[in-house]
Amino acid sequence: MPSLNLQKTHLPSTPRPAKSGEVYEAVKREIMLGGLPPGEPLVELELAAFFGCSQGPVREALLQLQEEGLVIRQGHRGTRVADCTADEAVEMFRLRQSIECRGVIRALQRPSRTLAADLRKLIEAMEEAALAGDEYKLAEHDRDFHRRLLRDANLPALDPILHRCLVHNHRFKISQSKGERDLLATARRHLSIIEAVERSDAATAAQALAHHIATIVDLGPEVFTDGGA
C-alpha cells in the first residue's frame, strides 16, 4: 500500500488513536482525490498501524466505504479500492439526472421555508472551500446541496441512491481533470439552480439541474438524449 498523503489537518491534533470516523474521512479523501488508485489493496493491519488504532475502527471505516461503493471487500481476498470507470459514471449521471430533475419539481410544489436559505449557505460553504483550495470539502458541500434539494421532494428512499451517484460522479470528475481546475467556478455553477428555486420556478429549476449534471464532464451528447437542455 502506498503512503497515505495525509496532512496534519486531516488527522486528530492530539497524539491519540484515530476513531473509525477519522479513518473513514482520511481514507475516503485519498480515494476521492486519487491518492489511492483503483485496485489498491487496503490491509487492515497496515492501516491500523498507520492510524495508531486497533483493527476495529479500521474495519468499521472500510464497511462505511463499502456502503458508498468506494472499496470492495472480498472475504479472504481482502479489501481493495473500487474501480472508477466511465461506464459506471455514465449510468450514474443518467440515474442522477432522472432523480434530481423529477425531485426538484416535487420539492417546489411544497418547499420548506428554509430550503432557499439552506441552499444559499451551502453555496457559500462551497465558495469558502474553493478559495481554500480544498477540492474534497468542496465536493462534500456540493453533495449536501443536491441532497438538501431532494429532501423536500419527500422521497427518502432515494437519498442513499443519490448520495452514491454523487460520490462516484465527483470521483470520476476529479479523475478526469487535467491540471488545476477553477474551483470557484465549480461552486458558482449552482447559482442558476438556486435562483430558479427562489422564484419557485420548477420547470426552470429542473432545466438548470439537467444542464448542470450533463455538463459536469465531457461525456458527449449521446449520454443525455435531451442534450442537458
For range 7-11, the mean pLDDT: 44
pLDDT of amino acid 229: 36
Domain boundaries, the chain: 8-81, 86-214
pLDDT at residue 196 is higher than 60? yes
Task: Quote the pTM value.
Answer: 0.88
For range 173-184, the mean pLDDT: 87
The pLDDT tens digits for 122-157 are 999 999 999 999 999 999 999 999 999 999 999 999
Residue with grid cell 430558479, as numbered in its chain:
196
Sign of CA dihedral 196, 139, 130, 15: positive
pLDDT of amino acid 75: 75
pLDDT of amino acid 67: 94
pLDDT of amino acid 178: 79
pLDDT at residue 169 is higher than 70? yes
pLDDT at residue 13 is higher than 90? no
Instruction: Domain 86-214: give its CATH code.
Output: 1.20.120.530
Please report, for residues 31, 60, 110, 183, 210, the alpha-carbon distance to residue 215 in angstroms, rounded to integers and kept in the order given.
23, 35, 28, 15, 9
The pLDDT tens digits for 47-85 are 999 999 999 999 999 999 999 999 999 877 889 999 999
Comparing 15 with 9, the larger pLDDT belongs to: 15
> What's 8-81's CATH class?
mainly alpha
pLDDT of amino acid 219: 62
pLDDT at residue 1 is higher than 60? no
Name the strands in the sheet holding 71-73, side by side, starting at the edge strand that comes first in the sequence.
41-42, 79-81, 71-73
- Give the amino acid at 173: K
Percent of the chain with pLDDT over 90: 78
Sign of CA dihedral 22, 44, 165, 176: positive
